[in-house]
Structure 1
Amino acid sequence: MTHGFDTAAVHAGSEADPATGARQVPIYQTTAYAFRDAEHAARLFNLQEVGYIYSRLTNPTVAALQSRIAALEGGAGAVCCSSGHAAQIMALFPLMGPGKNIIASTRLYGGTVTQFSQTIRRFGWSAKFVDLDDLEAMKAAIDEDTRAIFCESISNPGGYVTDIPAVAGIADEAGVPLIVDNTLATPYLCKPIEMGATLVVHSLTKYMTGNGTVTGGVVVDSGRFDWSASDKFPSLSQPEPAYHGLKFHETFGGMAFTFHGIAIGLRDLGMTMNPQGAHYTLMGIETLGLRMPRHVENAQKVAEWLEKDPRVASVTYAGLASSPWNATARRLYPKGAGALFTFEIKGGYEAAVKLVDALDLFSHVANLGDARSLVIHSASTTHRQLTEAQQRAAGAGPEVVRLSIGIEDADDLIADLDQALAKATA
């Protein structure tokens, strides 16, 4: 039976514990699991049977979270890991090899830009950064070594929205998967798989958990990509030496990427999610459908107020009629354009820093997606490692302040911004 979003957010991957009757998913705080006998252990290690071996690979609490997220995103399977950054590497790991590249949006979180422009080069991988609004430029950047296209559904920090179906069409033509970071939208606002994405990644640290308590990441597989259609993805289509020549796609079909993520990715990279973190995220997801409408409603009110304020030069929120991305947002994100955006304060860098220091209700932290409203000056923090040109391309120039709007009373947030703007522009 197919359930509605809020029902799935509470029930998917969860049932009463058969041993105790516990209704909430227990925290299985264990390293290893007893095998029934030697044959059972052998079958598990040989991927002939699904079960629990060792908590670096699989854990019942984490498995419940994986099932719930896969259900919400409309995926075939999911693999949870230790952070959103870990999820990005986990997503790329089965696809890439020395000399291979990805096409990446220029409008990405600063840490992702660094990961793709610097860190992955140590694996022999590379990234080509392209404005994904320019579809012809994206097509031109793809070459025979391209193995994926990567974007964010709603970008951090600017809150720009991506035309996922258009990008997915180009990925399909090139025979490569589209990977969408859906952290800022969550499956409540956007379901990239329904729009043509192959893989979806999240930083579960943000809206999915929603309370700023744990870090976590996930990779969700659509189960629809034909990994054997070409020789581009040998990790999934060709014999795997570590499993006596098993071919993941031939053996597991639509679950090939998910099984590879556990049996190879978590086994060898070890970026495991802990069961207590999974428990917190499961509880957070239960209220996702209640929280996101309030986030969006508040963001719309705050953005509209800021746009009219003479002390503000511009606001990037795609929910505003003045935004170049408003038409795309209304077409693809009908429940709202998220709750993260930036604004440019008149007075430049000095005024931006003063404003951040003058806010009371807004917490000055390097996070987003919390129930609390958060603020940060991206150019001097989360995007500090980028050049000014890269900062501006990402929407994080020196005069820009990023807001993550929480679920408080919107009037209180506006009052706090009003007094801070007065101090910053005095």
Structure 2
Amino acid sequence: MSDRLPGFSTLAVHAGAQPDPTTGARATPIYQTTSFVFNDADHAASLFGLQAFGNIYTRIGNPTNAVLEERVAALEGGTAALAVASGHAAQVVVLQQLLQPGDEFIAARKLYGGSINQFTHAFKSFGWNVVWADSDDIASFERAITPRTKAIFIESIANPGGSITDIEAISTVARKAGVPLIVDNTLASPYLIRPIDHGADIVVHSLTKFLGGHGNSLGGIIVDAGTFDWSAGGKYPMLSEPRPEYHGIRLQETFGNFAFAIACRVLGLRDLGPALSPFNAFMILTGIETLPLRMQKHCDNAKAVAEFLAGHPAVASVSYAGLASDKYNRLARKYAPKGAGAVFTFSLKGGYDAGVSLVSKLQLFSHLANVGDTRSLVIHPASTTHSQLDDAAKVKSGAGPDVVRLSIGIEDKEDLIADLEQALGA
């Protein structure tokens, strides 16, 4: 190509990929192997010593996965990326590079229920402590900062309620505190929002959702923005101090603006081991090729369904930032002008029992615990994904007892509305 910077749809198809040099295969091959042959002893030593880039063992890296990593980094505007086994694995690997036992990180209350559970309970065994803040009250993040704070974690579009987070405002808080801002961009995808453009230092995804898009492969990814100085203040010794397992290399000094992605690979993925299978990487790559087409249809359908529900007598309220009346519409127009996403919630006048009943009466919507599929999905969070929370925490996270979550697919919107209409009528 010329010096022209490729557009988003072009990157979604081509970034990171070339025809296979041996066979000429145009689709990225599935390198279904555990290990890779070294040229000689010196080559092997240079790979293990981080003096050269290359393949050693699929737990650490794989050529199929490398194409996926380069593609998502390009779509997000980052310097490098690391693919892992799931979105939860991405969160563990990221925070392992940042936190020591006794350290804290601040997280927005409006998060996926699984993340709330992971942060509140599982991370305690590592000695990592979460401090909660309210994404509707930016000052709550400032109040939560202490000398032990090492990161701030938010979602660009919050799950399950679909609220839009003011990334730039929270980034300002993170910059002032000298800590990185981590943004889970799963529900938006880079097609709708690129958090790095708004001040994020690290972006994570569950690749299982909109990027893969077909509900057939688990995966997660970490994108390094290359914007944070890991050596400042001595807060992040994993990156700034000599690494004994690599002959005293300082990762920040050696790898510069992609040092964090390297740390996640050679300190996190290598030792914790949540490797993404090459087959899943191939499936997710195939999904990404149609991401722009799918996301626009997802958003267009979601807006139509939300407008229908907003006018239905059985519905108490609809939480969808794409509606002009929604409290997050202003932020949606700023951060996601192409659409406010495809995941949102609505409340039923009949409360908890009505939510459970509705789910059982829908026919086209699939009742399952996932989002971001080509198929439309439904769940009652209070009885499933957020059931481990107490009632007050459910409400704070946007998953009150009367709330139903929809993930709108790419079917004909008229059919989706008709299915909702019959279920609400029943």
Normalised by the length of structure 1, the TM-score is: 0.99
Look up the match of 1:311: 314
Look up the match of 1:261: 264
| CA drift at 1:91 | 1.2
Q: Give runs of aligned pairs for residues 170-185 of structure 1, distance below 5 A.
A: 170-185=173-188
Look up the match of 2:59: 56
Look up the match of 2:214: 211
Look up the match of 1:285: 288
Is 1:140–2:143 an aligned residue pair?
A: yes
1:19 pairs, out of 22, 25, 36, with: 22
Is 1:299–2:307 an aligned residue pair?
A: no
The one-letter amino acid paired with 2:286 is M
CA distance in 1, matches of 2:143, 2:315: 38
Q: Give runs of aligned pairs for residues 326-405 of structure 1, distance below 5 A.
A: 326-405=329-408
| CA drift at 1:331 | 1.2
CA distance in 2, matches of 1:343, 1:304: 11
1:155 pairs, out of 144, 158, 165, with: 158
CA distance in 2, matches of 1:132, 1:232: 25
Look up the match of 2:80: 77
Q: Secondary structure at the match of 1:129?
A: strand
CA distance in 2, matches of 1:104, 1:292: 27
Deviations 1:46-72 (A, max 9, x none): 000000000000100000000000000
Look up the match of 1:93: 96
Look up the match of 1:240: 243
CA distance in 2, matches of 1:161, 1:125: 27
Deviations 1:10-38 (A, max 9, x none): 00010000011000000000000000000
Look up the match of 1:194: 197
CA distance in 1, matches of 2:143, 2:348: 36
Structure 1: state its 5+ residue gaps. Answer: none
Look up the match of 2:48: 45
Q: CA RMSD in A?
A: 0.6
Q: Secondary structure at the match of 2:97?
A: coil
Is 1:65–2:68 an aligned residue pair?
A: yes
Q: Secondary structure at the match of 1:94?
A: helix
CA distance in 2, matches of 1:107, 1:259: 30
Q: Secondary structure at the match of 1:210?
A: coil
Structure 2: state its 5+ residue gaps. Answer: none
| CA drift at 1:198 | 0.1
CA distance in 2, matches of 1:36, 1:48: 15
Normalised by the length of structure 2, the TM-score is: 0.99
Q: Secondary structure at the match of 1:230?
A: helix
CA distance in 1, matches of 2:334, 2:387: 34
Look up the match of 2:227: 224
Count of residues paired in the alignment: 423
CA distance in 2, matches of 1:228, 1:263: 18
CA distance in 2, matches of 1:136, 1:280: 42
The one-letter amino acid paired with 1:346 is K
Once the two structures are overlaid, the 10-residue window that deviates more, 267-276 or 127-136, is 127-136
Identity over the aligned pairs, expressed in percent?
57
CA distance in 1, matches of 2:177, 2:81: 25
